[in-house]
Amino acid sequence: MTAADQTATDQTATDQTATDQTATDRTAADQPPAPVETPLRRNRDFLLLWLGSGLSALGSRASGIGYTLLVYWSTGSATAAGLVGFAALLPALVVQLPAGAWVDRWDRRRTMVWANLGRVVSIGSVAVTAALGVVSIPHLMVVAFVDTSLGAIYVLAERVAVFRVVPRSQLGTAIAANESRGRAASLAGQPLGTVLFGFLRWSPFGFAALAHLVALLSSLFVRGDLTAGERKPGRETLRSRIGEGFRFVWGQKYLRRALSLLTASNVLFQVLILGLIVIVKDNGGSPELVGLLLGANAVAGLLGSLCGNVALRWLGIRRVIMTVNVSWALLMPLIALTTNAWLLGLVYALIIFLAGVGNVAGMVYQVRTTPENMQARAASIATVITSGANSLGALAAGLLLDALSTTAAMAVVGAAMAVIALLAVVGFAGRAAAEAERTERAAFDLERKDPS
């Protein structure tokens, strides 16, 4: 080949390269720009849901303490107050499961609107009768049951609605924000209800009715599509939908293990809460000191929930579960070693902080591993199981603390937590669990890149 031929060949290659580059640039220019995700703080639909549900939760906490105050101050009967409290707690066991099945099938916007409308009417009737000086225990029991039942339906619908208005990549942050909102409502709701009751006896219920009305209106202004996910053809019975939800949860090995660990630790937490009150009282402490320590715990839980999504990103769900449970196993025995209120407060605050972290991480994990048309059922099943554990734990707490000294009882709690921590390590430290986490993470990242 002559020098002239070589030069011509090089020139042709150069021209072809330029042509290819031009075609590539043209193709890239023709592609639509990658969508830019809106931050949660500017996500209008999420903020409407967050605000409405937060005010509704605050109203529920205020009216919850309002029931007890109204009944006891009007009748002087602890039994009557207990009956109303029982009616308010009963839906957690008998309504949660069907609520999950219904919400997975119903339009979420309509569900939230009708649930809040029912709450406005029911709780508003208590505000009216209390203002008239009429206190009827049967009426209060019915309203407490209806209000809490509709609240369970609303909370599940709102939780799944968030799934529709927030990108998958922001779900962790959204869940952390919602968990923090719930803890803040718990922290402020009871004191607010107490203050309102001292001002006017009907005002906690009037405030709750107004809060539920705001939640109703916020649902109406959400622009996103809140319809249910894909439905199966044909008619399904309520029983079959609940059974499908149980089969799904049981079939997810690591979700099942995480839920089992949470259920077991919830039993111990009931002993810890009652134990704190017993320890403070037996050592000459005042109710105000108990209130201060419980308030500090609520703040610690709020901070933990704010850190939950960050911990999940840094450590992954396996390490979060193991770290939280092992840390609890190290902290809980310390309660048996001191009666100093401030040291107890520090230990309890650390335990509750870790609970906030674990709750958020667990909810994010459940959302990521659950199909949209199963979200409400999975959440309701988890709530029923953990609520049952709380009831069992409350019973165990009384029996244990009556049978043993607080030191011995806390030692038993520490030993039980050590067993739970060991199960957490065994269940989540293996190669199979690590591989499952990598697979889930890869699927999640793929869906982030291609939501379709």
The per-residue pLDDT for range 309-341, each reduced to its tens digit, is 888 888 888 889 999 999 999 999 999 888 888
Share of the chain above pLDDT 90, in %: 29
Q: What is the CA radius of gyration of the chain?
A: 27
Token pair in block for residue 60: 């529920």
Token pair in block for residue 416: 């039980």
Q: What is the pTM of this model?
A: 0.68
SS (H, E, C) the chain: CCHHHHHHHHHHHHHHHHHHHHHHHHHHHHCCCCCCCCCHHHCHHHHHHHHHHHHHHHHHHHHHHHHHHHHHHHHCCHHHHHHHHHHHHCHHHHCHHHHHHHHCCCCHHHHHHHHHHHHHHHHHHHHHHHHCCCCCHHHHHHHHHHHHHHHHHHHHHHHHHHHHHCCHHHHHHHHHHHHHHHHHHHHHHHHHHHHHHHHCCCHHHHHHHHHHHHHHHHHHCCCCCCCCCCCCCCCCCHHHHHHHHHHHHHHCHHHHHHHHHHHHHHHHHHHHHHHHHHHHHHCCCCHHHHHHHHHHHHHHHHHHHHHHHHHHHHHHHHHHHHHHHHHHHHHHHHHHHCCCHHHHHHHHHHHHHHHHHHHHHHHHHHHHCCCHHHHHHHHHHHHHHHHHHHHHHHHHHHHHHHHCCHHHHHHHHHHHHHHHHHHHHHHHCCHHHHHHHHHHHHHHHHHHHCCC
List the chain pLDDT tens, one digit each, 452 residues: 444 454 445 455 455 544 545 444 444 444 444 445 678 888 999 999 999 999 999 999 889 888 888 888 888 776 787 788 788 878 877 888 888 888 888 888 999 999 999 999 999 999 999 999 999 999 999 999 999 999 999 999 998 888 788 887 787 788 878 878 887 887 788 778 888 888 889 999 999 999 999 999 999 999 888 876 555 555 667 778 888 888 888 888 888 888 889 889 988 988 888 888 788 888 887 767 877 887 788 889 889 988 888 888 888 888 899 999 999 999 999 998 888 888 999 999 999 999 989 888 877 777 777 887 788 888 888 878 777 677 677 778 878 888 888 899 999 999 999 999 999 999 888 777 777 667 665 554 544 444 44
- The answer to whether residues 196 and 204 touch, using CB atoms and an 8 Å cutoff, is yes
User: What type of residue is 75?
Assistant: T
